[in-house]
Amino acid sequence: MEAQQHGAKSSHGNDAEGEHGVCSLLHNELGVSLPLHISLSRPLVLKTEHKDGFLQRLKQAITSSGVHAFGVSPADLKWHPNEDRTRWFLVLRATDEGGELVKLLQISNAVAGAHDQPKLYEDDAPAPSSSKPALGQVATTSAADKLHISIAWSLRQPPAKSTVNPSESTNLPSSIQDLDIPFADVKVRIGQDVTSMALAPRRERRGS
């Protein structure tokens, strides 16, 4: 599951490699801009008889949550490996002023957990308690800090001498940190089927 920019369908990149074997996720091999997305779940394995129920529960949770369309700002830039360290991603850590993004993460994790599926950033989840967390409960700060937009990838770890050091975050200029990147849809891919869920219209920005 992912938050999708402008409601456009996502792409997993292209095979055209640049310097050091880095593949862009911003443009395809024809130079056409690709939509940005923020992953809200791990890859899940659902039994056929559970797929419809999972999708309906997720739809209901998002609809009843009151989550609105939102914008995110890039916080910093870093290379980050996948769990198996078979691929490296250049990512922009994303923050949103209204907290809508972390609410969507909590909703996704709650629905995944209800279907005995792994949660995204589950290592950062609070310790279990006797009270059941609400679907709209905001994720922990440490988990929220890991939400990101991937802008490039590579099959090998970038060298330490690269512009972005793979072992540490790179600060961004204020002109980039002040960007507002809009997201208005949540997309769920189950097999070959993609379901798009439009969020409620965006709230007026503070100070506007």
What is the CATH classification number for the domain harbouring 59?
Answer: 3.90.1140.10
Beta bridge partners of 70: 183
Cα 32 to chain centroid distance, Å, stands at: 22
pLDDT digits (tens, 9 = 90+) for 153-179: 999 888 877 778 777 889 999 999 999
The domain of 59 spans 2-198
**Whole-prediction pTM value?**
0.79
Looking only at the bridges linking them, the beta strands covering 2-4 and 185-190 are antiparallel
Query: Could you tell me which of 75, 104, 77, 89 has the C-alpha nearest to residue 183?
Result: 104
pLDDT digits (tens, 9 = 90+) for 105-136: 999 999 999 999 999 987 644 444 434 444 44
Task: Return the higher-pLDDT residue of 9 and 21.
Answer: 21
Is 203 domain-assigned? no
Which pLDDT value is given to residue 123? 63
Spatial separation of the C-alpha atoms in residues 30 and 27, rounded to whole Å: 8
**Count of other CB atoms within 10 angstroms of residue 66:** 11
**Number of domains making up the chain:** 1
pLDDT digits (tens, 9 = 90+) for 30-85: 889 988 999 999 999 999 999 999 999 999 999 999 999 999 999 999 999 988 88
Is 206 domain-assigned? no
Which pLDDT value is given to residue 55? 97
Is 119 domain-assigned? yes
Is 49 domain-assigned? yes
Is 67 domain-assigned? yes
Beta bridge partners of 93: 148
pLDDT digits (tens, 9 = 90+) for 128-156: 443 444 444 444 557 888 999 999 999 98
pLDDT > 70: percent of the chain: 81
Which pLDDT value is given to residue 141? 53
Residue 206 pLDDT level (bands cut at 50, 70, 90):
low
Residues 6+ apart with CB under 8 A from 151: 24, 25, 26, 36, 90, 91, 92
Task: Return the higher-pLDDT residue of 122 and 17.
Answer: 122
Contact 95, 75 (CB under 8 A): yes
